Structure 1
C-alpha cells in the first residue's frame, strides 16, 4: 500500500512540474499597434522564431488614441506608433525605455478609386487629429489634390480603407499596405486600382516602436523588437507596402 501511495505521489508531482514548466515557458506580451500595421504585424509574428514561446495580444487603433490610452495607464508592453511624435512625447514623460525607440517602417499613401465612374461624391481619409496617415492625407489633398469632394473622416486609416471597400466612399487616401494586404487575401483587381502618391509631397509617415517602462515582459519585448529590426524582416516590411525604415533614425 505504501509503495502504491509513493508511486501515485511521484506521478502527481511529476505531472505538476511538467505543467509548471509549460506555463513558465510561455511569455505574454500586449502590443498596441497603429491600425495600418496590424495585419502586417500579425503576418510577421505568425512565422517568428519565438511564435510558440510568446503569447502576443494586439490592440489596434489610431496612434493618437493608443497614446491617450497609454498615458492613462493602459497595460501595454510595446507601442508601434504610426508616427515619431507620440513616442517622443512618451519619452518626455519618462514612460518608455529610452533606448527602445526605433523606426520600424515608413508609411506610404495611395489614392484609391475602385470605380472610375462612381457617382459617390465622398472621399475617405483618416482623422488628421488622431492619425498620422490622416494628417499626411489632408496635407496632400490641400496642396495637390484640391478635391471638391466631401470628406468622410474615419477613426483610423484602416477604417478609411473600409469606407471605400464597402462603397460608402467613392475614393480614399489610404495606406498602400492595406491595398497590398487586401489583394494578397482576395486577388480582386479592384485593389490594384490605385495611384501611389509621391512620398515627397506629404510629411514623412515615420513609424516608430517603443517599449514601455512599465512592462513586466522586457525579455519578450526585446525579442520582438530585434526581430522587427532584423534585415530580413525589414525587407519583408518593404514588400508589404512601406518604405524601408531609416537605419539612422
Structure 2
C-alpha cells in the first residue's frame, strides 16, 4: 500500500521519545518552579532581580552555549557527573536522564514566568484572608492561589511541554542521537535533512508545525474562555 501511495516508511519512535521527555520535564519543572515562582511574586528584596535574570537566562542564551556548559557540568570528568556515575551508576551525558536534566534548565523560564505573573495578579486581600483563616503558606498556594490562576497555570504547563518537544541545540549537544534513547523528533529531522531525505523531513516537520499550532490555539482559546467567564 505504501509503495502504491509512494509514501516513505516512517519511524515515530523519535516523536514518542520527545513526548516522553516533554511530559517528564513538565512535571519536574512544575514541582520545582511552583515555590520559586511564588517566592518571586511575593518578595521585593534585592535578590529578586538577580533570581529573575538567572531564571530568564535560557531565553536569551544561544542553545549551543547553554548545551555546552550543561555538557561540561554533567560530564563524567566533572564533580557532579562523576558523583552520579560513581555512586549511582547514572550516566548524565548521552542518555535520556541527561536530556531530562538539560531540558529542565532550558525550559525553566517557560514554567516560572507564567506562574509568577499569575501569582502577582492575585488580589492580596484574598491571600491575607487565607492566612487569617489559619491556612498555612502551602495551603494558601495550593488551595487559594493555584485555583485562581488557571489561565497562567495552563499556559505554563502547555508552553513548557511544547517548548521541550521542539528543543534541538541543547538536546543534540547533551544527548547526541542514540536511537530509542536520545534521538528526539527535532534531531531526527536534522539528520534527515543532512542525508537529503526531504520527503520524511517534510512529514516530520509538518507534524511538528501542526502540533505547535494546536498547542498555541488551545492556550489562546482557553484563556479567551476564562476571560469571558471573568467578565460574566
Q: TM-score, normalised by structure 1?
A: 0.29
Computing the radius of gyration from Cα coordinates, the structure with the larger value is: 1
* Structure with the bigger percentage of strand: 1
* Structure with the bigger percentage of helix: 2
